[in-house]
Amino acid sequence: MAVLEVIKYPHPILKKRSETVSEIDGEVEKLIQDMKETMYMAGGVGLAACQIGIPRRVIVLDVSPIDPQHSFLALINPEIVSEEGEIDHEEGCLSVPDCLEKVRRKEKVCVRGLSPQGTEMEIKGDGILGIALQHEIDHTNGILILDRVSRLKRDIYRNKLRKEKRKEERP
């Protein structure tokens, strides 16, 4: 088990749809443990495998710091099967540092996927759980928080990154 580097925008792996996991083996189990440790060390409530450079449809979540009725959750090949309502919620992202933006999400979602043991699961989520599920599933589909904000906010963030890069490149 290891704490891995969280890949940052604009790395191209973050914009690609992740591959479906066809077999749950020791490699996937280790991936989930590494993701769990990385998420906790980074102070996040969710992480998708692509955020550590592995383009597979695996997510981990733990929203218990915000909503104590929920605990750690790992899902393989998660897909949203139903959704209802809309809600605006301020979100951040480990792969898009210093970007805290209001994002429109579905108020309630039902997600289907596999547990780490290979059992089919269905999770109904609202509040922070529903938001985190949608955010991490977006990652598996190559969608970032920046894709869910206005063009102006996206451009402001990109310009900020360019300025920071230029500062780093100066001797």
Active site (catalytic) residues: 136
CB 137, CB 161: distance < 8 Å: no
CB 4, CB 58: distance < 8 Å: no
Q: Which residues contact 32 (CB under 8 A, 6 or more apart)?
A: 58, 60, 74, 116
3-state helix, strand, coil in the chain (%, to 5): 35, 30, 35
- The encoded tokens of residue 54 equal 């592995």
CB 83, CB 106: distance < 8 Å: yes
Cβ atoms within 10 Å, residue 8? 14
